[in-house]
Amino acid sequence: MTNQNEQPVGTDPCVCVECGQQYSIEELRSSNAHYFDAPHHYDRGCERYCLSCWLGVGSLDIARDP
Ligand SMILES: [Zn+2]
């Protein structure tokens, strides 16, 4: 049987409370590891906010990043 109350930490996709986008902390940890450290400290918000919202730029700003 699968345990319904205890989900494995770090493997399930998170949903951003700001924009509702799904994201994977594990993926971000491997591809954007530097954001988890100073000065961004995304490790403090990675469970609730996607990286875009945490950085406060939004996907539009990322899309037109030079
Ligand atoms: Zn977001």
Cα of 5 vs centre of ligand 1, distance in Å, is: 25
Nearest to 14 by CA among 63, 55, 52: 52
Of the candidates 21, 42, 44, 24, which has an alpha carbon nearest to the alpha carbon of residue 33?
Answer: 42
- Tell me which residue of 35, 32, 38 sits closest to 55, measured CA to CA: 35
35 alpha carbon – ligand 1 mean position (Å): 15
15 C-alpha vs ligand 1 centroid, how far in Å?
A: 8
Measured in angstroms, how far is the CA atom of residue 25 from the centroid of ligand 1? 13
pLDDT at 65: 46
Sequence ranges of the domains in the chain? 15-63
pLDDT of residue 10: 46
Mean pLDDT of 36-64: 82
Of 10-14, 15-19, 48-52, 62-66, least confident by mean pLDDT is 62-66
**pLDDT tens column, 1-37:** 655 565 555 457 899 999 999 999 999 999 999 999 9
| Least confident segment among 7-16, 34-43, 51-60 | 7-16
pTM: 0.67
Longest CA pairwise span in the chain (Å): 49
CA of 21 to the centre of ligand 1 (A): 6
